[in-house]
Amino acid sequence: MSLAKLSKVAIVLLFSPPTGGKPLTQPFDVWIFLYILVMLGFWAWTYTMAAVTWFALYPEIWEGVKDRSEVVMYRQIFAIIGGALAVAAFPILVANLSKTEGDFTGWILAAAILGTVFAGAYLFSLVGIKERKEFVVDKSLSMGSSIAVTFKNKTLRTYVIMDLMTWCMTGWLSATMPFFATECLGIKETDAFMLMAPSMLGILAFFMVWRKIYIRFGPKISLAAATIGFTLAFIPCLFVQTVLQGALWALAVGATMSGILLSREIMMGDVVDEDEIKTGLRREGSYFGAFGAIEKISFLIIPMSIATIFQFVGYGSPNPNHELINAF
């Protein structure tokens, strides 16, 4: 069984808790909680094994900057479109299946469909892809030695800090967009797509521009320019009052975000190339595993930092008296 198919099974099991075919109605059940915890870990484990090996093919198959930048651009475009379709289609799929099959079965069938699409997309993308022979014969290091050697690389340590911060930047935007839509523009949280859609459009429209900038000026200038632009693009949100103004602001944010998304992924291949020069081994799997592990720390930083800031300014308190929230 391939890793992609195993991950599909994990998704179905995650949405199939042992509740006797009935929706969970109790507020807390320790056994169901443990089941979900184990299945979530099982899914994350299988997904990581599939994703790391898939992503690691990128610097191995394409070596030049032009080729890598083009591949990253296409991958990001399809990822954004696919993500948007998943967010929009999955709730509709669950709702329709639940009407005809019941809530419990509806979720299981929706998970099965999601897993099939997920596994099928991975397997289809591998058609015609072959690992280069010179890299297949490389001798692998033990897990402990591989981790030690990987994190001794100064370039990797520098890169993963930058990578983590960019993940936090884009994650903060996604997490706070509904808050901005409801509290600043006065629209419903379900209508936040009116800001998310222009942001995605800006990302898609400016990929080609940032690709040319990257090819001409290199990684440092491209990433620095995109990061500075992304930061400056948030200044207008202090003055946005209408949905139209918010959409234009989101478009500008997306235009700069595309440079960050493009630059950081191309740079992953550069880190792998440098390691090969130093060690004589091609260890893209170890490096992409390290990238993925460090990136996941953003899942802790983003919610904790947002919760801390909201608590500091008094947002959500029944009688907010803090000066900042009053000024806001």
Which range marks the domain in which residue 51 is found? 1-137
Q: Which of 94, 117, 137 is the endpoint of a domain?
A: 137
Locate all alpha helices (DSSP H) within 180-242, ordered by sequence: 193-217, 219-232
Distance between CA atoms of residues 266 and 292, nearest Å: 15
Give the single-character DSSP code of 191.
G
Same domain assignment for residues 158 and 275: yes
Same domain assignment for residues 106 and 177: no
* The total number of structural domains that make up the chain: 2
Mean pLDDT of the chain: 81
Q: 299-314, pLDDT tens digit by residue?
A: 889 988 988 888 887 7
Same domain assignment for residues 71 and 190: no
Same domain assignment for residues 147 and 265: yes
144 or 278, higher pLDDT = 278
The residue written with tokens 């296409």 in the block is 74
Domain assignment present for 325 = no
Whether the CB-CB separation of 285 and 56 falls below 8 Å is answered with yes
Domain assignment present for 319 = no
Domain assignment present for 316 = no
Same domain assignment for residues 168 and 243: yes
C-alpha Rg value of the chain to the nearest Å: 22
Domain assignment present for 120 = yes
Domain assignment present for 324 = no
* Tokens, residue 208: 């080609």
Q: 193-246, pLDDT tens digit by residue?
A: 788 888 889 999 999 999 999 999 988 899 999 999 999 998 988 888 888 888
Of the pLDDT bands very low, low, confident and very high (cuts 50, 70, 90), residue 60 is confident
The residue written with tokens 């008296």 in the block is 321
Domain assignment present for 222 = yes
Report, as an integer, the average pLDDT of 38-61. 82
Q: Is 325 a residue whose pLDDT tops 50?
A: no
Domain assignment present for 328 = no
Same domain assignment for residues 190 and 286: yes
Give the single-character DSSP code of 65.
H
Same domain assignment for residues 196 and 268: yes
Residues 6 or more apart from 119 whose CB is under 8 A from it?
2, 4, 5, 7, 8
Residue 206, burial from CB neighbour count under 10 angstroms (0-12, 13-18, 19+)? buried
